[in-house]
Amino acid sequence: MAEIFGDTVKGGIASALTGGSVAASVAVLKNKPTNAWAIPTAISCGVFGGCFFGVRQIILTGTTGFHSRLVTDKDRLCASGVSGALVGGFLNAIYQKNARAAIPAAIVYGLIGTSGQLTINFVQSLRRSYILHKKVEAGELEPELAAVLPSQEKKWWSYSPIRQITSEDHRVILQEKLVNVDMQIAQVDAELEHIMKLEEDRN
């Protein structure tokens, strides 16, 4: 529950800030009242974003339990599409005060959620593949294990979120986590090195 609540709050705040900033920028360009444009847009985006990420997390939790390490790109794709359709259709029906407005909105927002998650999955796939190949070249990872990830990623075309987690799935997921941890450690090391250089320059 804490994870669902956290995603709802963070998603709502991020969406509100993004929507408000864009609306304010457009208002300035069109020489319109900034508050009259930014505030309503920020509220609308915040409500949609909070509901979207909350429902999305509920769907992910329902398919994989509370083990976030078992969430795959396929799960995120299904959850984003379904969440976009449900939230978009429901909120649009409320705003329009017309139940018939839910169907076209559900289709549009479902496609937006799916296409957005497809883009994110593609970028993350390229990033993971690049990191794995670098680790293979550095001798830090077996080539056979690095080859497992691309073959597993092709399976997200199966849209059913219900599946049995195999030992190979666990192996790939753990390897992804190790890669992410290595990246975070490298970022921390770079920041520490930068801080040490600044201190040396001051002295």
Instruction: Find the mean pLDDT for residues 182-198.
Output: 80
Asked whether residue 76 carries a pLDDT value surpassing 80, the answer given is yes
What is the structure's pLDDT at 155?
47
Share of the chain above pLDDT 90, in %: 32
Q: Between 102-137 and 73-96, two packed helices, what is the crossing angle to 10 degrees?
A: 160
Instruction: Find the mean pLDDT for residues 175-201.
Output: 78
> Which comes out higher in pLDDT, residue 94 or 151?
94
pTM score above 0.85: no
Cα Rg of the chain, angstroms: 21
* Residue carrying structure tokens 């705003």: 95
> Which comes out higher in pLDDT, residue 107 or 184?
107
1-10 pLDDT, tens per residue? 666 787 788 8
135-147 pLDDT, tens per residue? 666 665 555 455 5
Sequence-distant contacts of 2-10: CB under 8 A, at least 24 apart: 3/57, 3/61, 3/66, 3/68, 4/54, 4/57, 4/58, 4/61, 5/54, 7/53, 7/54, 7/56, 7/57, 8/50, 8/51, 8/53, 8/54, 8/57, 9/50, 10/53
117-130 pLDDT, tens per residue? 999 888 888 887 77
Instruction: Find the mean pLDDT for residues 165-188.
Output: 73
Asked whether residue 202 carries a pLDDT value surpassing 80, the answer given is no
Average pLDDT score, the chain: 79
